[in-house]
Amino acid sequence: MKKVYLDYAATTPTHPEVVKAMLPYFTEAFGNPSSIYSCGQQAKGAIEEARVKVADLIGARDEEIVFTSSGTESDNFAIKGVAFTKDIKGNHLITSPIEHDAVLETCKFLERRGFSVTYLPVDKYGLVDPGDVKKAITTKTILISVMHANNEMGTVEPIAEIGKIAKEAGIYFHIDAVQTVGHIPISVDELGMDLLSISAHKLYGPKGVGALFIKKGTKLVSFMHGGEQERGRRASTYNVPGIIGFGRAAELARQEMSEEAERLTPLRDKLINSLLERIEYTRLNGHPQQRLPNNVNISIDFVEGESMCLSLDLEGICASTGSACATSSLEPSHVLLATGLSPERAYGSLRFTLGKWTTEEEIDQVLEVLPRIVAKLRAMSPLLKNH
Ligand code: PLP
């Protein structure tokens, strides 16, 4: 059975070109970049080249990129880094209820330590209203953190408008851009943020490497203490192959991103429209237009997402019920609940995320298989009978 992978938002396969770029750094050029002899310095040089490539992808300067171990670390670094900066006046943060747990759990951690956090409302599509951001600002506000695009339902937030509000108020602005960097164009100057989180494995790079963009002049406390790596901002021996792979992935994304988005958008729309047409009692989650070019998230009534996922897996199709991190949890998605969806509908949600190797045949395969699965599950479901 041919596998159909439609969970690119959970992770992407590492691009063969990326693997090729990484390989020499496991063997010939294995030196520690902090060593002064040539094989260390060769690795150091390659890291600096990778830094330029990552910076170029978001229109930043290379010295504004700090390599981390993941998107999660970047989110933690940005939020705790601002919160614990000594001369920052205030203890209030603003965020949204649809953030990834890397942001939400960090905020909860800070709340337990005396910080207060405003969770902005979102509309039925998951959009934050910039007017609500403005209203939430107090004299104590130190940080606004809103994601660029939501990982579950693909809604793209009005970041430039929020950035303008943050700038006018003189408050630091962080965006979690883990789902957007390498997929839609980003210019840190145009979007107006001070901090931006990236994760390599979401853009065909390796797992276990990420970056935090820190705008020049932003005051931020480091929380990895040790050596002088990353100019003292983040200690620990460099993940050399990972960083080199990240750089190559960023370079490829820059070249291929717009073509890729153009190719995926009609495939996404075909999948959305045909599923809504072919299966009764379904609805699209997330914004119909302001959404990532690769995201399909639908709620299918009277069936559970987990059952659909497992049945799809038996047919060789990998999809998800929500965020990758939530697959071990039986709670309905906090993201979908925040948009006003009932817990029953949230339980019946299914996410397909398309990517570089997705073909129209694969979309047709889902369209052939899923209505059959839903019909079978519904025939056994007491939920539909009681409807
Ligand atoms: N933020 C968002 C929006 C994500 O989708 C993810 C991963 O799914 C993360 C943060 C965490 O990134 P990482 O897997 O690199 O820790």
Give residue 387's pLDDT: 65
Q: What angle do CA 72, 97, 122 make, to 5 degrees?
A: 135
Is the alpha carbon torsion for 385, 331, 333, 211 positive or negative? negative
Residue 377 gets the label, from left (phi > 0), alpha (psi -120 to 50) or beta, of alpha
For residue 333, the 8-state DSSP code is P
Pocket test for ligand 1, best of 153, 202, 321 (most atoms within 8 A of CB): 202
Q: Which amino acid is at 56?
A: D
Q: Which amino acid is at 177?
A: A
- Selection from 317, 312, 331, 296 nearest residue 376 by Cα: 312
Q: In angstroms, what is the C-alpha Rg of the chain?
A: 21
Q: Give the whole-angstrom CA distance, residue 85 versus residue 8.
A: 36
- Selection from 152, 198, 142 nearest residue 173 by Cα: 142
Residue nearest to atom 14 of ligand 1 (CA): 71
Give, rounded to a whole angstrom, the gap between the first and last alpha carbons of the chain.
Answer: 36
- SS3 state of residue 195: strand
User: What is the whole-number distance in angstroms between the Cα of residue 90 and the centre of ligand 1?
Assistant: 28
Element (H, E) at 4: strand 4-5
Give residue 116's pLDDT: 97
Could you please report the per-residue DSSP string of 304-323? -HHHHHHHHHHTTEE-BSS-
Give residue 253's pLDDT: 98
Q: Is 318 a catalytic residue?
A: no
Q: Give the whole-angstrom CA distance, residue 204 versus residue 331.
A: 30
Q: Which two tokens stand for residue 286?
A: 């997330």
User: What is the whole-number distance in angstroms between the Cα of residue 196 and the centre of ligand 1?
Assistant: 12
Inter-residue contact 209 to 246 (CB < 8 Å): yes
User: What is the whole-number distance in angstroms between the Cα of residue 75 and the centre of ligand 1?
Assistant: 9
- SS3 state of residue 233: coil
User: What is the whole-number distance in angstroms between the Cα of residue 78 and the centre of ligand 1?
Assistant: 14
Give residue 272's pLDDT: 98
Find tokens 């000594």 and name the residue: 86
Question: DSSP alpha helices (H): ranges in the chain?
Answer: 16-22, 38-57, 71-83, 101-111, 130-136, 159-169, 188-191, 240-278, 305-314, 334-338, 343-347, 360-380, 382-385
Parallel, antiparallel or unpaired: strands 141-145 and 172-176: parallel
Residue nearest to atom 9 of ligand 1 (CA): 71
Q: Which amino acid is at 372?
A: R
Exposure string over 357-379, b if 16+ CB within 10 A, otherwise e: ebeeebbebbbebbbebbeebbe
pTM: 0.96
Pocket of ligand 1, beta carbon within 6 A: 70-72, 75, 100, 102, 147, 151, 176, 178-179, 199, 210, 323-324
Could you please report the per-residue DSSP string of 91-145? -EEEE-TTS-HHHHHHHHHHHTTT-EEEE--B-TT-PBPHHHHHHH--TTEEEEE
Number of alpha carbons in the 13 Å side-chain half-sphere of residue 132:
14
Find tokens 């108020």 and name the residue: 169
Instruction: Per-residue pLDDT tens, the chain, 387 aa: give them.
Output: 789 999 999 999 999 999 999 999 999 899 999 999 998 999 999 999 999 999 999 999 999 999 999 999 999 999 999 999 987 789 999 999 999 999 999 999 999 999 999 999 999 999 999 999 999 999 999 999 999 999 999 999 999 999 999 999 999 999 999 999 999 999 999 998 999 999 999 999 999 999 999 999 999 999 999 999 999 999 999 999 999 999 999 999 999 999 999 999 999 999 999 999 999 999 999 999 999 999 999 999 999 999 999 999 999 999 998 644 445 566 889 999 999 999 989 999 999 999 999 999 999 999 999 999 999 999 987 777 666
CA-to-CA separations, 248 to 18, 176, 178, 185, in angstroms, rounded: 6, 21, 17, 17
Beta bridge partners of 144: 94, 173
C-beta neighbour count of 28 within 10 angstroms: 10
